Each structure stands twice: as C-alpha cells, then as structure tokens.
C-alpha cells in the first residue's frame, strides 16, 4: 500500500517535476494566507497602540508606524498575486494550480 498525503491527495499521482511545481504553488498559497493573517494582526496591534497612546507622542508614532508597515505588507501581498497573474497570463501557465509537463 503506497503512502498517501491525505491533505494533498492528488500529489500521489504526480511525477517528480509536477509534484515539485505543486509544492511550490501550495507553499506560495500558504505564505499568502500566513502573510494576510500577519498583516491583519499587525494592523490591529498598531491601531490599539495608537488608540491607547493618549498624549504620549512616542507611542502614537509607534502605532502609526505599525499601521504603515501593515499596509505596506498588504501591498506586497497584492503585488505578489499580481506578479503571479501577469506571469500566468504572459506564459499561458497556470502557476497557482500547475499541470506542467516534466522531462
């Protein structure tokens, strides 16, 4: 009986190159999800710092900086998706869900 990954069952039928491409796509999708959660938590943290800063200018600046960094991270996530979509459109490959031929 072969070993099967129940989380990604289709990988058992793929050859080496196709499985590697699928692992890269799955890793990118996972990183986008983790990055999105990190952005959300960082924005909440920055907003709470800003709200609870009171008259303390240093804490207010740190809160604003966290908000800016969170928005910058969100822009990077969107840019990564746009780059993947542009490459997919130009090359005709479905990079997010690859079905690439192997040697």
Domain layout of the chain by residue ranges: 33-90
Tokens matching residue 36 = 């999105």
Residue written as token pair 């990183």? 31
- % of the chain residues with pLDDT over 90: 46
3 pLDDT higher than 80: no
Tokens matching residue 102 = 């192997």
Rounded distance between C-alpha atoms, residue 35 and residue 57, angstroms: 29
First to last CA, the chain: 27
Rounded distance between C-alpha atoms, residue 67 and residue 39, angstroms: 9
In tens, the pLDDT along 33-80 reads 999 999 999 999 999 999 999 889 999 999 999 999 999 999 999 999
């Amino acid at each position: 009986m072969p070993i099967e990954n129940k989380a990604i069952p289709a990988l058992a039928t793929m050859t080496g190159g196709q499985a590697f491409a699928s692992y890269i796509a799955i890793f990118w999708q996972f990183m986008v999800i983790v990055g999105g959660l990190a952005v959300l938590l960082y924005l909440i943290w920055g907003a709470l710092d800003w709200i609870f800063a009171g008259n303390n200018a240093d804490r207010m600046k740190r809160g604003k900086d966290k908000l800016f960094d969170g928005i910058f991270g969100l822009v990077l996530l969107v840019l990564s998706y746009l780059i993947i979509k542009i490459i997919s459109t130009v090359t005709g490959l479905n990079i997010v869900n690859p079905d690439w031929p192997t040697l």
